Amino acid sequence: MAGALEGIRVLDLSTLVQGPQAAAMLHDLGAEVIKVELPEIGDVGRHIGLVPGIEHSSVFIACNRGKRSITVDLRVPDGKAVLEKLVETADVLLSNFKPGTLEEWGLSYEHLAAINPRLIWAAGSFLGPAGPDASREGADMVGQAYGGSVASSGYDGLPVAPTGFLMADHCGSQNLQTGILAALFARERTGRGQRVDVSLLGGQVWAQATEFTHYMMTGEVVGRTNGGHPLVHALYGVFETGDGGALAIAGCPDHLWDAMVEATEHPELHDNPRFGTYLATPEIREELFEVFGAIFKERPVAEWEERLTKAGQRFAKVRTHAEVVADPQTAANNYVVDIPDTWGVSKVLGSPITMTDTPTRWGTEVAELGQHTEEILLEVGFGWDEIAALRDSGAI
């Protein structure tokens, strides 16, 4: 069965994570993705996180499975001409260079739209295309910091820390693919492509919509997470267990309170119904965390899993990546899938999206740098003599 984006051709000029991950999702939705890389160097992601003994990058594999690779130096006239030819049959051109870079190379939206008016020209950046700091360069870590998410992490009195994953890059990629999909949908009505811009900053602000709205309504910065969420004054947080494990509890509203009391074997809590609500005060939250911080240390995490499951509570053991990959629930939904052993791995990420009529897919191959250069050039009309001349000039 064809994917939802079957017949859509994407030119992925991007590097590292923000852009490549967006293009990877477009591939999983059915699009053909051609990765355009700098000759001899390629995507910087190819050289980060190299796995010893395999000599492939986990960063690159994660964001580029299923794409074809062509090498083109966009900075030279012949390379620009190659991209212009590719654009003739493309639906999407995706990049995440510093704003103005493609314009400097003569590859602006206006120029390429004149070649193909149906083209969606999509760009991800650090801080967005406008404003006094638009030309600054940045990546995930500084995106998290600039966008305010790092400031809210951790406990009062202790150093702040970023998240354990590339959150700013991921939010940026999600917005980039959403903008591209919306532009493709709009093109169905208008027949025209358009320019799409997103940024790490914009993604971080949008991801914290609740917290920023609270500040703008009250003038109060929500503050640190302190093991939970600063705006949720309830049994909502992470608690250590007796064996050094940890549990995350997503609150305990009044209809679950009696079952929670029974699960803990602390009947005295029946007399404190103000605990079983999402309408508590910060003071009650502090008391809740103190009381349950002690209670959850009374038993190992496995016993708590059994008790809280029986009590119908909303909770999860804090799990490692290894535990998530091994979980049959993860496999049942194709979030992690088995593949024939390739470049040293037998499992890859599947798709987080399930569709009945236009199923999603996942890439099982990663292209070597420039592996499909000649193949793609032949497809768009270059002859062998022209390809040889392009190689001689250093354009490919």
Residue with tokens 């250093």: 394
DSSP state of 57: B
> Pseudo-torsion of CA 287, 288, 290, 294, nearest 10°?
150
Distance, CA of 41 to CA of 84 (rounded, Å): 21
Contact 146, 200 (CB under 8 A): yes
Beta strands (DSSP E) in the chain are 9-12, 32-37, 68-71, 92-95, 120-125, 195-199, 236-240, 246-250, 315-317, 336-342, 345-349
Contact 231, 222 (CB under 8 A): yes
Our answer to whether residue 266 is catalytic in this structure is: no
Which of helix, strand or coil describes residue 395?
coil
Marked catalytic residue, from 56, 111, 214, 229: 229
DSSP state of 270: G
Give the CA distances from residue 162 to residues 20, 136, 143, 169, 221, in Å, rounded to whole numbers and listed in that order.
22, 20, 10, 13, 18
Nearest by Cα to 143 from 209, 207, 200, 198: 200
Which of helix, strand or coil describes residue 48?
coil
Distance, CA of 112 to CA of 120 (rounded, Å): 10
* φ/ψ bin of 4: left (φ > 0), alpha (ψ from -120 to 50), beta (otherwise): alpha
∠ at Cα 372 (116, 375), nearest 5°? 70
Distance, CA of 14 to CA of 97 (rounded, Å): 7
The helix or strand, by DSSP H or E, that contains position 266, with its residue range, turns out to be none
Active site residues: 229
